[in-house]
Amino acid sequence: MTLVFSVPLLVEDIDAAARDAIHAKVTAYLKTERAKRDIVPSPEESVATSYYKNEAQVLADVDLSELEQFVLATARTFLEKALKLAPRRLEIDRSWINIFKPGAQEAQHSHDGSLLSCSYYVEAPKDCGCIVLPDPIGARRSYREFTKTVGSDALTRREIAVEPQPGRLVMFESWLPHYVQCNKSAQVRISIAMNLREAPAQVAMPRARAETTPAAAVEQAAASAPLPLAKSADAKPFLLNELLDVHTDLKLDLEAIRDTIPAVVVDDFLKHPEEARDVVGRAPAANWKHEKGGKNFVDYYDCRLRFPIRPPNSMIAAAQQIIRHVYSVDTRPSDASVDVNWFRQIHEKRADFAVPHSDMTEGVRRSFTCILYLNRREECSGGTAFFRFRKSGSLVFDEAYARATAEDSRLAETGLDYWGGGAGQSWETVGTVDMLPGRLLMFPSEYFHAAHHPQNSFYDFPRLTLAFWMVA
Ligand SMILES: [Fe+2]
Ligand SMILES: [Fe+2]
């Protein structure tokens, strides 16, 4: 006799350090007003859960990125190693927290509509109730005799119970029915449930990728290497001053953002925006501020490309002229190079903007930030946002901000987390400038600003902005 069909179940324990970190964060979260608001008794079960608050996403609300990474990696093992499915980009569609007080249980149900579902145990005292998966091959039970098997192997068991344990993840296909036994311990059982799905396809397909087959494109998107290996012949020399040549009949848009930020926007700045995008977009990008324990290269890629500038350079000359005309200041470039900020998502964005900051330079009287958007039109979303620091109400770098960053590292652009690790509530957005191909944005560097990301747009190609600073 051979077994001809089977149903997969994956049980995996997270490492002890991550388990303890998650436990500490969840314990702190449960004491907050937010948790008290979001976790409510289920209308038909004895469990208390944040499932019914649609806007609550426990992974984001508690900042459980280590758990998210663990779940996504386990899901890849499930689909690719066990089921031999092609790689794809996965995301956690929903995440919620379940609190089982002594005596609480949950009736049989399934998570139809998702791909994979899982339960992670934060607290699991002895006898707090197993998750139980009854044999789903219902047709097999239509003959009474087949309901009487009592063994413990795949052929004879009628259900399988997995005992929760702190740090344990139980993952299964979402259609699979399951229930939770009664919590017979004297303490609470805390679990985090998650549904996974395939990430929605991106709207725009970059030109370089259009030549590859769809299967290869999926593989590239799923692979962790930021760029496919290039043949040596792909490397092409270029003249930077020619690549970044600017139009001579520039039109300045001096309309201040909501009458608060004295910014200048110049559209159609570059003569060859497409070529600039192509050359810059093909260059291998090196990581920026890669701090140990940080999220760069785990949650996203935040990289820098630096290009040397040899005068005369028409881009620098135009910036000089504009600053003289608008701000009446004579400036010079702060460096003999320009930087490209190269950002690409690995996982879903966790905020609408990156860490707000000001570009303060030591030892200069004035500084002006110049940002040139390089993405193609179909790649553009968001742009640059300007902020008010709530604590002081200031739009520009001040003492209150300097003190606050010393106390809370999440407020500073440390390189640990591009998204600011949930420090977003310290900021009020006062205005945004939209990204457009070849658009130049200039503003005095003391103004608080950050990359603006209203959409999850930068999975298949990077967000490319060229930045330089003009100082006096
Ligand atoms: Fe469930
Ligand atoms: Fe900046």
- Smallest-distance ligand from the CA of 449: 2
Q: What is the pLDDT of residues 29-67, one digit of tens each?
A: 999 999 999 999 998 899 999 998 878 899 999 999 999
The domain defined by 9-198 carries CATH number 3.40.190.10: no
- Smallest-distance ligand from the CA of 106: 1
- Smallest-distance ligand from the CA of 112: 1
Rounded Cα–Cα distance for residues 355 and 357 (Å): 6
Q: What's the gap in Å between 466 CA and the centre of ligand 2? A: 11
Rounded Cα–Cα distance for residues 111 and 176 (Å): 8
Q: What's the gap in Å between 370 CA and the centre of ligand 2? A: 9
Q: What's the gap in Å between 194 CA and the centre of ligand 1? A: 9
Q: How confident is the model at residue 424 (pLDDT cuts 50, 70, 90)?
A: confident
> Which segment of 207-216, 233-242, 250-259 scores lowest on mean pLDDT?
207-216
The domain defined by 221-471 carries CATH number 1.20.120: no
Q: What is the pLDDT of residue 202?
A: 53
The answer to whether 164 and 130 are in contact (CB under 8 A) is yes
Q: What tokens were used for 466? A: 């060229």
- Smallest-distance ligand from the CA of 448: 2
- Smallest-distance ligand from the CA of 356: 2
Give the 3-state secondary structure of 359-415. Answer: CCCCCCCCEEEEEEECCCHHHCCCEEEEEEECCCCECECCHHHHHHHHHCHHHCCCC
- Smallest-distance ligand from the CA of 179: 1
The answer to whether 381 and 435 are in contact (CB under 8 A) is yes
Give the 3-state secondary structure of 321-338. Answer: HHHHHHHCCCCEECCCEE
Residue with tokens 């296909």: 173
- Smallest-distance ligand from the CA of 176: 1
Q: What's the gap in Å between 358 CA and the centre of ligand 2? A: 6
Q: Calculate mean pLDDT across residues 249-273.
A: 86
Can 9-198 and 221-471 be said to share one CATH topology?
yes
Rounded Cα–Cα distance for residues 127 and 102 (Å): 10
Q: What's the gap in Å between 384 CA and the centre of ligand 2? A: 9
Q: What's the gap in Å between 164 CA and the centre of ligand 1? A: 14
Q: What is the DSSP letter of 439?
A: -
Q: What is the pLDDT of residue 154?
A: 86
Task: Name the E strands within 61-127.
Answer: 90-100, 106-109, 116-123
Q: What is the pLDDT of residues 366-420, one digit of tens each?
A: 999 999 999 999 999 999 999 999 999 999 999 999 999 988 888 888 888 999 8
Q: Can you give the residue ranges of every domain in the chain?
A: 9-198, 221-471
What's the whole-model pTM score?
0.54
